[in-house]
Structure 1
Amino acid sequence: MNPVQRPEMFIIGAQPVCSQLPGLSAGQRKLCQLYQEHMAYIGEGARTGIRECQHQFRQRRWNCSTVDDASVFGRVMQIGSRETAFTYAVSAAGVVNAISRACREGELSTCGCSRAARPKDLPRDWLWGGCGDNVDYGYRFAKEFVDAREREKNFAKGSEEQGRVLMNLQNNEAGRRASTVDVCPDLPGERSEARVLGGRRPSWRRAGATDLSGDYTDLSLGELSTLRSVSSPGSGPSKAVYKTADVACKCHGVSGSCSLKTCWLQLAEFRKVGDQLKEKYDSAAAMRITRRGKLELVNSRFKQPTPEDLVYVDPSPDYCLRDQSTGSLGTQGRLCNKTSEGLDGCALMCCGRGYDQFKSVQTERCHCKFHWCCFVRCKKCTQVVDQFVCK
Structure 2
Amino acid sequence: MWIIPNKLLIYIFWIMEIRLVSSFTSAMLCGRIPGLTAAQRQLCSEMPDALIALGEGHQLGSQECQHQFRGHRWNCSEVWQRNVFAHIMPVASREAAFTYAIANAGAAYAVTAACARGNISTCGCDGRHKSSGGDGSSISMDWKWGGCSADVDFGMRFARKFMDAREVEKDARSLMNLHNNRAGRTLVKKLLKTDCKCHGVSGSCVMKTCWKSLPPFRLMGDRLMQKYHKAKTVQVVRGKRGLRLVLSRKKHPAAVAAASQKQTLAWPKRLELIYLAPSPNYCERSLRSGSLGTKGRICQQKQGHHGPQSCDLLCCGRGYNTQYISRTVQCSCQFHWCCQVECKLCDESYEEFTCK
TM-score w.r.t. the length of structure 2 is 0.78
1:65-124 per-residue CA deviation (whole Å, 9 max, x = no partner) reads: 136953469998110011111111111000111110111111111011122334524973
AA matched with 1:330: G
1:274-319 per-residue CA deviation (whole Å, 9 max, x = no partner) reads: 0011111111111111233111212342544211111111111101
Deviates more, 1:5-14 or 1:294-303: 5-14
Residues 53 and 68 of structure 1: CA distance in aligned 2, closer, same or farther (over 3 Å): closer
Structure 2 unaligned spans of 5+: 19-25, 256-266
Secondary structure of 2:78's aligned partner:
coil
For the pair 1:310 / 2:273, whether they are aligned, the reply is: yes
Residues 148 and 356 of structure 1: CA distance in aligned 2, closer, same or farther (over 3 Å): same
Residues 104 and 134, structure 1, Cα contact 8 Å, conserved in 2:
yes
Q: 1:36 aligns with which of 22, 45, 48?
A: 48
Residues 106 and 379 of structure 1: CA distance in aligned 2, closer, same or farther (over 3 Å): farther
Shift of residue 37, structure 1, vs aligned partner: 1.3
Residues 75 and 327, structure 1, Cα contact 8 Å, conserved in 2:
no
Counterpart of 1:203 in structure 2 is: none
Counterpart of 2:294 in structure 1 is: 331
AA matched with 2:103: S
Q: How does 1:81-120 map to 2 (within 5 A)?
A: 81-117=93-129, 118=132, 120=134
What is the RMSD computed on CA atoms of the aligned residues?
A: 3.3
For the pair 1:132 / 2:95, whether they are aligned, the reply is: no
Counterpart of 1:79 in structure 2 is: 91
Residues 319 and 279 of structure 1: CA distance in aligned 2, closer, same or farther (over 3 Å): same
Residues 318 and 355, structure 2, Cα contact 8 Å, conserved in 1:
yes
Aligned mates of 1:390, 1:75 — CA distance in 2? 30
TM-score w.r.t. the length of structure 1 is 0.72
Residues 348 and 72 of structure 1: CA distance in aligned 2, closer, same or farther (over 3 Å): farther
Secondary structure of 1:41's aligned partner:
helix
For the pair 1:282 / 2:229, whether they are aligned, the reply is: yes
Residues 286 and 297, structure 1, Cα contact 8 Å, conserved in 2:
yes
AA matched with 1:138: G
Counterpart of 1:295 in structure 2 is: 245
Counterpart of 1:223 in structure 2 is: none
In our comparison, the structure showing a higher alpha carbon Rg is 2
Counterpart of 2:285 in structure 1 is: 322
Q: Which structure is higher in RCO with an 8 Å CA cutoff and minimum separation 6?
A: 1
Shift of residue 381, structure 1, vs aligned partner: 6.6
Q: How does 1:1-391 map to 2 (within 5 A)?
A: 7-8=8-9, 9-11=11-13, 13-15=16-18, 17-66=29-78, 70-71=82-83, 77-117=89-129, 118=132, 120-121=134-135, 124-150=141-167, 152-153=168-169, 162-182=171-191, 245-251=192-198, 261-292=208-239, 293-299=243-249, 300-303=252-255, 304-339=267-302, 340-360=305-325, 361=327, 363=329, 379=343, 383-391=348-356
Secondary structure of 2:66's aligned partner:
helix
Structure 1 unaligned spans of 5+: 156-161, 183-244
